[in-house]
Amino acid sequence: MLRFFSLLSASFFSLIAAGQQTIPLLTKNNALVLQVDAQKNVNTIYFGEKLGNTAEYAKVLSMYRQGEEYTGVADAAYSSAGSKDLFEPAISAVHADGNTSLDLAYVSHNSENIGKGATLTTIILKDRVYPFQVKLFYKTYADQDVVEIWNTISHTEKKPVVLTKFASANLYFRAPEFWLRNYHGEWAREMQPEEAKLTHGIKTLDTKLGARANLFQPPLFMVSMGKPATEDDGDVLVGSVSWTGNFKVDLELDNRDNLRLTAGISNFQSAYTLKPNEEFETAKFLYTFSSKGKGLASRNLHNWAREFGMVDGHGSRMTLLNNWEATYFDFNEQKLADLLKDTKKLGVDLFLLDDGWFANKYPRNDDHAGLGDWKENTKKLPNGISYLVKEATNNGVKFGIWIEPEMVNPKSELYEKHPDWVIKQPGRPEHYFRNQLVLDLTNPTVQNFVFGVVDDLLTKNPTLAYIKWDCNAVIYNAHSAFLTNQQHLYIEYVRGLYKVLQRIRAKYPTIPLMLCSGGGGRVDYGALQYFTEYWPSDNTDPLERIYMQWEYSYFFPAMASSNHVTEWGKQPLKYRIDVAMMGKMGFDIVISKLPEKELALAQQSVRVYDSVKNVIWHGDQYRLSDPWKEPVASVMYVDQQKSKAVVFNYLVNNRYGQGSVMPVKLKGLDAGGQYRIREVNVLPGSRSAIDAARTYTGEFLMKIGFNPAVRQGRNSVVLVVERV
């Protein structure tokens, strides 16, 4: 056996170690350590909390007595199929001569500091027989404890090579047991968690939907090691594939009870033909590791996202009034003029005009027609969008607009003119998702068209201040009239989408863009690099949102979460407002129909939000009381100076006597600081029972806690904690 460490004596071990080279990939607290062995295999020897003495990583494996390692490469840093590796590979290929084997050996590596605390380590691997190369990239973000892994694949064989698998990352973990938390979903039921112990064999998380790809399963997951991690305890990897299309994550518990993770773009119907000298770049796999539970892991990701992973992560966001649920498709210029006045009256920054403003030959009066025909409907809007944008300015608010530029209704002029722009199988009946089809973004002409939809709007209306980018259909009948190799469709679709988004961002770097997909069917860090925010779900029932936002918040920062107050659910307006505040707040209700008291509450909440939004957007988030386990959900945001915090508390169980019986322990405060607590978002005309004059030490609030007095009739309570 190549590496049968369990039998090696210490002296023999050090001999081997002499011929070996370790490649430590370090962040502030953690290490992923690779080792090049005497046979030039690159293996994973350590994953976890950083050691003080780097030299000791080489001793780690000698401490495991796990039995024989038959393959010699089970812990490969990038496992290849067809030679010795008998587990789920990271890469597999068919060479130009038809041979199906790969066996990658170390050639060289190099690390460079690329600024902002990030280091890029590149490792070059080459096949031992074929002129086939893989460059592994590990980008370590020291301060955030985040790592991105991806690679490029190329060759100089005489003819094309077909890549049949091409994972971004391949990690290997050693622990007594592993627990996977992953998510399933549906429209209006996004981010439903499941957590289970991994058993031997492979657990696959994937999607084959092509577009709106995360509808049933997002690429977001956590692996706890040793025991299920809690908020503040346990070893946990929180990871995701940054790819806005088909992804695949395989978790294989092997014969020695170790876990191999391979993650990247899915190879489903996607064997990729790679020409000589062409480079295939995989998606990025993103993870953070925490040895102190899920809470810290989430804050790592939030910090990373605001710094590197989204547009304008340190900036500001606009509150808004959206007309989708207020009008659906039924509006005209007058109704919108009234809504602009309501926007002003409510006190939010922007009015967002949703679906239904376009198409003439086949007017967009419902979701059966018009998609693709991006000209204002002259009956509804005789003076066009420009008039509304100006009217918004006259009312002292900004104007935003909804588009869904990747899609087409068969009942549209676009489809009539360009049936070849549509993804569909020739000779098979069309199959629709929400009565629509997906445009073929692999085709550069279609990319131009989609870019043009945005560019036209912004050229004609330079003060247009916001775009909601929707995507309501999956890809059925995957076939492109443009591509010669249909196996490339799923990958080229996403690349085409990114090309369009890159062009938009090059020309309009700052315009806020909301990533929507008939709800949350699309959010991932591949897309978020072009967007300022995402729409978690069409389900805005606040009770449901407490759970969804809770789960999303492990992966994405609050400032990216668009939360609208709507008529969904049975909760009072205050409860709905309080839940929407835990992110980027908006409204989608008929302001003119609100009773006087409720209007006053909504107006007041916009002012309250203005006073706390910076803490929510840029502060540290702590989950204090878990709605899946407790009758009260509590979530807290603390600013970087620990001088101001907001604590949201909700009753999530209506059974008799339920409420905050115990105090809720706060987190993230300065133990030695003195704080006052006051309640906000109190119904106009009522008084809070909380004594805002009392002071508490941070220590008290974190060790004893504070009781928000949540109970029936006081179902949601928002507290502002301020240093005295």
Q: Is 519 in the site for ligand DGJ (CB under 6 A)?
A: yes
Q: Is 472 in the site for ligand DGJ (CB under 6 A)?
A: yes
- Looking only at residues 149 through 208 of this chain, which bind ligand DGJ when binding is defined by CB under 6 A? none
Nearest distance in Å: CB 475, ligand DGJ: 17
For residue 427 the two structure tokens come to 């000779």
**DSSP one-letter code for 305:** I
* Phi, psi for residue 602 in degrees, rounded to 5: -65, -45
- In the stretch 375-404, what mask flags binding to ligand DGJ with x, by CB under 6 A? ---------------------------x--
Q: Is 89 in the site for ligand DGJ (CB under 6 A)?
A: no
User: Exposed/middle/buried for 458, CB within 10 Å: 0-12, 13-18, 19+?
Assistant: middle
CA distance 721 to 724: 9
Nearest distance in Å: CB 187, ligand DGJ: 9
CA distance 518 to 316: 25
Question: How many residues sit in the footprint of ligand DGJ (CB under 6 A)?
Answer: 11
Exactly one of 518, 542, 557, 586 binds ligand DGJ (CB under 6 A); that residue is 518
Q: Is 470 in the site for ligand DGJ (CB under 6 A)?
A: yes
Residue closer to ligand DGJ (CB basis): 5 or 535: 535
- Of the candidates 50, 53, 52, 55, the residue with the CA atom closest to the CA atom of residue 35: 55
For residue 422 the two structure tokens come to 């549509």
- Of the candidates 549, 590, 541, the residue with the CA atom closest to the CA atom of residue 568: 541
* Strand 584-587 to 620-625 pairing: unpaired
- Residue at shortest CB range from ligand DGJ: 355
Nearest distance in Å: CB 334, ligand DGJ: 21
CB distance 344 to 319 below 8 Å? no
Q: Is 438 in the site for ligand DGJ (CB under 6 A)?
A: no
Nearest distance in Å: CB 516, ligand DGJ: 5
* Phi, psi for residue 580 in degrees, rounded to 5: -65, -25
* Strand 220-225 to 178-184 pairing: antiparallel
Residue closer to ligand DGJ (CB basis): 470 or 541: 470
CA distance 418 to 4: 62
- In the stretch 531-550, what mask flags binding to ligand DGJ with x, by CB under 6 A? ----x--x------------
Nearest distance in Å: CB 198, ligand DGJ: 34
CA atoms within 13 A on the CB side of 590: 9
Nearest distance in Å: CB 545, ligand DGJ: 14
Residue closer to ligand DGJ (CB basis): 127 or 470: 470
**Chain centroid, CA 313 distance in Å:** 14
Nearest distance in Å: CB 564, ligand DGJ: 8
Q: Could you tell me which stretch among 96-104, 263-271, 514-522, 696-704 binds ligand DGJ (CB under 6 A)?
A: 514-522
For residue 514 the two structure tokens come to 């909301």
Contacts of 468 (CB under 8 A, 6+ apart): 352, 354, 400, 401, 402, 403, 513, 514, 516, 535
Q: Is 516 in the site for ligand DGJ (CB under 6 A)?
A: yes
Nearest distance in Å: CB 370, ligand DGJ: 11
SS3 144: coil
- In the stretch 342-381, what mask flags binding to ligand DGJ with x, by CB under 6 A? ------------xx--------------------------
Q: Which residues bind ligand DGJ (CB under 6 A)?
A: 324, 354-355, 402, 470, 472, 516, 518-519, 535, 538
